[in-house]
Amino acid sequence: MGLTTGTPRKSLADVVFDRMQRAIKSGAYGANERLPTEHELAAEFEVSRPVVREALRRLREQGLIYSRRGAGSFVRSIGLKQPLGFGQLENVADLLNCYEFRLTLEPEAAACAAERHDDATLSAIADALELMRDATNRQSHREDADFQFHLAIAQAAENSYFSIAMEALKDHIAVGMRFHGASVKRETSGLVRVFDEHSAIFEAIRDRNGAVARDLMRDHLLGSRDRLFERRPKRQAAQ
């Protein structure tokens, strides 16, 4: 059976990457197991070898597979789930700490993404932004698309440490995004303003303006944190 892309903008390489990533993380391929050859994978997915090659490149960048010259690609024994051992998010202090960590991580990832993105990784950011645009037009907030936007930027940074950290933080980030989405929906222009922030970050990355991308991401995260904890800045100002 051939592949379907699901959405018009999703490339065949995206689909092959998603399918293989799920297979690896689910344990369908064992640790250090050799993957089928490019020719075999192209036949299995009914795509060209360059499409498979691009999917394999992205799997290597995420640290899920490694290559041996002349021997093929193999599944790494690490990173099959979440290699970082973050515990459960238990209280408001944990959520604030998560924001603090994101403020050290994501602005730099955005700057790197601006410098290093290619057509495929930029398209993944654009796809997530389009989902957010559609939700905003319906006066809704999609936490899944919001996270996918931030994760796609980390992946576009071409440094697997960024994307692995983001994936490990997914459940923690989702809590903040859920509460933040609820807070901005209470404002007449809240959703539009937050979408515009994401759109500006995308444009800076697209235009390869790393310094602006870094600043915009930092401002976005600070704004998200401060909107979620409205009283926190007031207490600090009074001190």
In the predicted model, residues of the chain with pLDDT beneath 70 are 1-10, 77-89, 181, 183-188, 231-239
Q: What is the pLDDT of residue 178?
A: 79
Domains of the chain, start order: 12-75 (1.10.10.10), 92-238 (1.20.120.530)
Beta bridge partners of 98: none
Q: What is the pLDDT of residue 84?
A: 52
Q: Which contacts of 42-50 are long-range, i.e. CB under 8 A and separated by 24 or more positions?
A: 45/2, 45/3, 45/12, 45/15, 45/16, 45/19, 46/1, 46/2, 46/3, 47/3, 47/12, 47/16
Q: What is the pLDDT of residue 239?
A: 39
Q: What is the pLDDT of residue 233?
A: 41
Residue in the block written with tokens 């993404």: 113
